[in-house]
Amino acid sequence: MAVFSNSFVPDPPETSLPGVVTFRAEVMSDSKSKPHVLEIRLAESNELVFADGSKAVKQTVTIGTSPVKVAFSKKKISGDPGDLAFFRVTLFDSDDNPLDACLVQLV
């Protein structure tokens, strides 16, 4: 069984830090509907974290053969950006496979 992402985008696409961003994706599976744990992760190579101090946020979603819209809503991100112009967020499936990634510009 595999999970696929059709799109993964930040809203807004740019932020200052600390900032709040919603990450939206459209996902589907090649098998019948069942719960999956999706996870978004900040890159380990920078000092940015989510509100709880972690580099990852998980969410359980029921995914089947029809596309499902998923939102990791209003995730606060903070930390020292150093000289970063943008940061990367990666979407993973239940089996720890990367599905998609997006970039958020820092302003």
Please tell me which residue, 3 or 102, carries the higher pLDDT value: 102
**Domain containing residue 74: CATH number:** 2.60.40.1460
Cα–Cα distance list, 50 to 20, 27, 47, 73, 101 (Å): 9, 23, 10, 12, 17
Phi, psi (deg, nearest 5) at residue 4 = -125, 145
- Positive or negative, the CA dihedral 36, 94, 56, 8 is negative
Mean pLDDT within 34-39? 94
1 confidence band (pLDDT: 50, 70, 90) = low
**Over the chain, what is the mean pLDDT?**
94
pTM for the model stands at 0.93
Distance, CA of 8 to chain centre: 7
Tens of pLDDT, residues 62-106? 999 999 999 999 999 999 999 999 999 999 998 899 999 999 999
| Domain hosting residue 28, numbered range | 3-106
Give the total number of structural domains in the chain. 1
